[in-house]
């Protein structure tokens, strides 16, 4: 059986990442992203990542089955120590430990890139993702009410934060 590999994405991964995001967005219930980027926008995004930003892909054989992105929460200098993540896996690859493997790679990168904390926004109806981030050590902060409207249905967003241990 081919092993799952976790590695940093390159612009050549644009099509595979766009395909994962299109599939997850089409499920309509997991993400606030309702209109995912097409291949060229996704490729441009990977090309645009700064030295403090990264996107890790989970690859089985030659197929991308999921990814986790880390970028800056804000362009404001006073918040340069804050990153944000997003994690998306194809359905058949969920609950197999891949999300945690992606996080191991992302957290190691975040530490070397001088982030002190990571923030994530999760849909209030997405109990599975909330549990996932809690299991990684994220703590729930606050809830933004009716923050998302998809197909005319409102959903809240819950903020979680994670402090990076420095020692
Ligand atoms: C949420 C998601 C990224 C988690 O990745 P995953 O590979 O399925 O999670 P893992 O198998 O690595 O699980 C890691 C831990 O989280 C827990 N967990 C993961 N998904 C869970 C769920 N749906 N319900 C309860 N616990 C869950 C696991 O039990 C595991 O705990 P442990 O390691 O302490 O035993 C993935 O399921 C996914 O892509 N879901 C659809 C898209 C989505 O919701 N993305 C998040 C948008 S904010």
- Nearest to 118, CA basis, from 104, 107, 134, 129: 107
Q: What is the pLDDT of residue 3?
A: 84
Cα 115 to Cα 31: distance, rounded to the nearest angstrom: 24
Q: Give the predicted TM-score (pTM) of the model.
A: 0.97
Q: Is the dihedral of CA 141, 144, 149, 154 positive or negative?
A: positive
Q: What is the pLDDT of residue 165?
A: 87
Calculate the alpha carbon distances from 74 to 79, 81, 111 in Å. Answer: 6, 9, 18
* pLDDT tens-digit map of 87-136: 999 999 999 999 999 999 999 999 999 999 999 999 999 999 999 999 99
Q: Which residue has the tokens 């700064």?
A: 50
Cα 126 to Cα 88: distance, rounded to the nearest angstrom: 13
Atom of ligand 1 lying closest to residue 30 CA: 44
* pLDDT tens-digit map of 97-106: 999 999 999 9
Tell me if 11 CB under 6 Å of ligand 1: no
């Amino acid at each position: 059986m081919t092993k799952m590999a976790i590695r940093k994405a390159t612009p050549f991964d644009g099509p595979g990442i766009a395909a994962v995001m299109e599939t997850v967005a089409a499920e309509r219930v997991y993400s606030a992203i309702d209109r995912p980027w097409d291949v060229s926008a996704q490729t441009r995004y990977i090309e645009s990542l700064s030295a403090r930003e990264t996107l890790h892909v989970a690859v089985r054989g030659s197929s991308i089955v999921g990814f986790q992105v880390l970028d800056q929460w804000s362009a404001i200098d006073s918040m340069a120590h804050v990153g944000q993540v997003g994690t998306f896996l194809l359905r058949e690859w969920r609950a197999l430990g891949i999300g945690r493997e992606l996080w191991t790679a992302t957290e190691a990168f975040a530490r070397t890139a001088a982030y002190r904390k990571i923030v994530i926004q999760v849909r209030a109806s997405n109990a599975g993702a909330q549990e996932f981030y809690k299991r990684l050590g994220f703590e729930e902060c606050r809830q933004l009410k009716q923050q998302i409207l998809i197909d005319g249905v409102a959903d809240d967003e819950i903020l979680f934060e994670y402090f990076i241990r420095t020692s």
